[in-house]
Structure 1
Amino acid sequence: MAAVDPDHVAQHYNAVPEKGVAERVKSRIFYLRNFNNWTKSMLIGEFLQKLEHNGIRHATVLDLCCGKGGDLLKWKIGRIERLVCADIAEVSLAQCEDRYREMLDRAKQERRQNDLFTAEFISADCSKKRLREAYEQKDIRFDLCSCQFSLHYSFASEQQARRMLQNACESLKPGGYFIGTLPDAARIFHCIKNAPADSAGKYANSVCSVEYEDKEGLSRGEQPPLFGAAFHFTLDEVVNCPEFLVHFPLLEKLLEEWNMELVYKMRFPEAFDKFLKDSKEGRGLLGRMQALEPYPAEEEEDVTPMGDKSEYKTAEYNLSKLEEEQKDGGDSRRPIKIGTLSRSEWEVASMYLVFAFRKKEDAPAV
């Protein structure tokens, strides 16, 4: 079973530099990052709306493994009442708190500080420390727990996974939700197994590489262990850090012990279709967040595509179909543009899933 040093995880995230908007735009995965952020926005918005429909207009939220506070604006837009942020990386958590203080200062200047949620920040390894013992309000109960792109780190061992899920669920109110995003173990293992024979347990495209650690077990046709199934995921320029596969049926079983029932789980491509279908705001938000790359690129604006031409064959096919439909209909409007991701970015997005669980109404108090 692979072991992970929590200090290594903290150092990994502390080492990722804070980049300005101009620098992020230059990134090869600019649109993929925005697409992931859009997916989180839609997921969070959906379940805050569910809570509101249940009479909870101003939710109390636990942001488990909050990082640098990338979701603070989402919580503000969702008009929550109280936010608890917890993360293992002290530097990231400090940046999160700084962002919150900046939001609070702006709200005070606008005399709207009462409209902004209150917050507390806890530096802790959420897979080892019981967070309830660190809360300012020991009896706090959450309407929602959100854990974005982080839950899988705790599956280094059964003990760590159980502690993480305890932190996610033990202070949830009956009817409360646990939502998140994580790598799709089945999809990742499929890609690794079906990679070229000379790749030695590694799948790669133009923006990422995924390397399974137990190459000997892979060569013998063994299935990954339930805990400690380590893989190394490198995305563009992002620092590499050991991660762990999460067998989703196992996650369901572990959460049943906390009286949690599955609402849904779906891979990002399915979630994309669902969110566009279910939400009137989703399509507009895609544009505002620049979550898809405009295709074809504007030649007069000296904009080049993120990937080479072969990365956009599907986009080119769809564009041709739309142009034919436009021509057949006698429509002479300006040239059509569509939103897309390069093939490599879409392959990466397809390696992730969204999930949502709900605590049963008759769950006993803990």
Structure 2
Amino acid sequence: MAQKTPIWQFKAYQNWVKTILISELVESNETVAEFCCGTGLETGKWERSKIKKYYGFDHSQESLAEAESKWKQKSCPYDAEFIKLQLTTERIEHFINNNSSHTSGSNTTKSITGGGSPDSLFDVVSCFDGMQNAFIDYDHANTFIKNASSRLKVGGFFFGIIPDSSSIWYKSQKVTSGLPCVKSSLFSIEFDSEIFNFFGCKYNLSMKDGSKIQENLIHFPSFINLCKSHDLVLVEATNLNDFYEENKKNYESKLKQCGVMVGKNKIDPAQMELISLYTTFIFVKEVKEPKAIDMN
């Protein structure tokens, strides 16, 4: 892999993590949904898992158009639909029950189907980037999680990658004066407040490749409780630093294939510090237990 940006190893590492999660949690002939799918970077991973159908959801019409183009150019063997949806304010059911088109505001995204029922449930729901934007407040976060759960089959997985709020907040508290912040050779983080609010705790992340984004910390206990209220139970969450130690032996060949290991065949400490800002999450949908009836 060419070292095109200062954070090339971080990008390659995230690709490795996605590869493992999809290979472990997605089975052949399944229907998958990807939230905040962006421009559709994971087509090869879905193809290798031999999925039956793919639903890509995103708020950006331009990103969806690019994702659709990639899907067509690669002649992916699975059926696909790319649907414009504000996952934090709109309900998913309103956008996948019409097999001809899906409309949001003035824009229309056509379904791309090769058969199968438009009402099919998802075997898995993934989200590799963007869920942190939902945690601006309770209502937006709750709608996002409700969308993740509502069409997920019982026993199905909701999984992905999010910023690790514990790691980020811990690093930011090491400053001796001023607002919480983190300084590194590859990135910097600045907070607007000294208080870690459960929702709407914003921080600005600047990376050495020139990218600048504003995100929200995801208060993990609140995240778990929201998921639980929609029948999603935590299986595991692993900081990407620990993920390396747990999986490097079994997936060593994938490390090389994804371009993580080049040169000295190790991960640079500065890259690992950036990697440690993120965590995986895996939830499983369980049957809602009926309320006990007191017969006394």
TM-score (norm 2): 0.86
Number of residue equivalences: 271
| Aligned residue number for residue 46 of structure 2 | 75
8 Å Cα contact 1:64/1:85 also seen in 2: yes
Q: State the alpha-carbon separation in 1 of the partners of residues 92 and 262 from structure 2.
A: 40
Pairing 1:201–2:180 present = yes
Deviation beyond 3 Å, 4+ runs, structure 1: 361-364
Of the three residues 148, 154, 159, the one matched with 1:179 is 159
| Aligned residue number for residue 107 of structure 2 | none
| Aligned residue number for residue 298 of structure 1 | none
* Secondary structure, aligned partner of 1:96: helix
Give percent identity, aligned residues only: 25
Q: State the alpha-carbon separation in 1 of the partners of residues 87 and 262 from structure 2.
A: 36
Q: State the alpha-carbon separation in 2 of the partners of residues 263 and 270 from structure 1.
A: 16
8 Å Cα contact 1:231/1:242 also seen in 2: yes
Following superposition, the deviation at residue 125 of structure 1 comes to 1.7
8 Å Cα contact 1:259/1:363 also seen in 2: no
* Structure 1 residues 138 and 258: alpha-carbon distance in aligned structure 2, compared to 1, 3 A threshold: farther
RMSD of equivalent CA atoms: 1.8
| Aligned residue number for residue 133 of structure 2 | 153
| Aligned residue number for residue 275 of structure 1 | 247
Q: State the alpha-carbon separation in 1 of the partners of residues 29 and 289 from structure 2.
A: 22
8 Å Cα contact 2:189/2:204 also seen in 1: yes
Residue identity opposite 2:257 in structure 1: R
Structure (1 or 2) with the greater helix fraction: 1
Residue identity opposite 1:140 in structure 2: S
Q: State the alpha-carbon separation in 2 of the partners of residues 257 and 269 from structure 1.
A: 29
* Structure 1 residues 363 and 122: alpha-carbon distance in aligned structure 2, compared to 1, 3 A threshold: farther
| Aligned residue number for residue 213 of structure 1 | 192
Q: State the alpha-carbon separation in 1 of the partners of residues 241 and 4 from structure 2.
A: 25
* Structure 1 residues 238 and 181: alpha-carbon distance in aligned structure 2, compared to 1, 3 A threshold: farther
Q: Which runs of 5+ in 2 are unaligned?
A: 100-116, 291-296
* Secondary structure, aligned partner of 1:58: coil
- Considering only CA atoms, is the larger Rg found in Structure 1 or Structure 2? 1
8 Å Cα contact 2:256/2:262 also seen in 1: no
Q: Which runs of 5+ in 1 are unaligned?
A: 1-20, 108-115, 296-338
TM-score (norm 1): 0.70
Following superposition, the deviation at residue 294 of structure 1 comes to 2.2
Q: State the alpha-carbon separation in 2 of the partners of residues 239 and 27 from structure 1.
A: 11
8 Å Cα contact 2:158/2:283 also seen in 1: yes
* Structure 1 residues 363 and 242: alpha-carbon distance in aligned structure 2, compared to 1, 3 A threshold: farther
Following superposition, the deviation at residue 187 of structure 1 comes to 0.8
Pairing 1:358–2:287 present = no
Q: State the alpha-carbon separation in 2 of the partners of residues 89 and 292 from structure 1.
A: 33
8 Å Cα contact 1:231/1:245 also seen in 2: yes
8 Å Cα contact 2:85/2:95 also seen in 1: no
8 Å Cα contact 2:7/2:209 also seen in 1: no
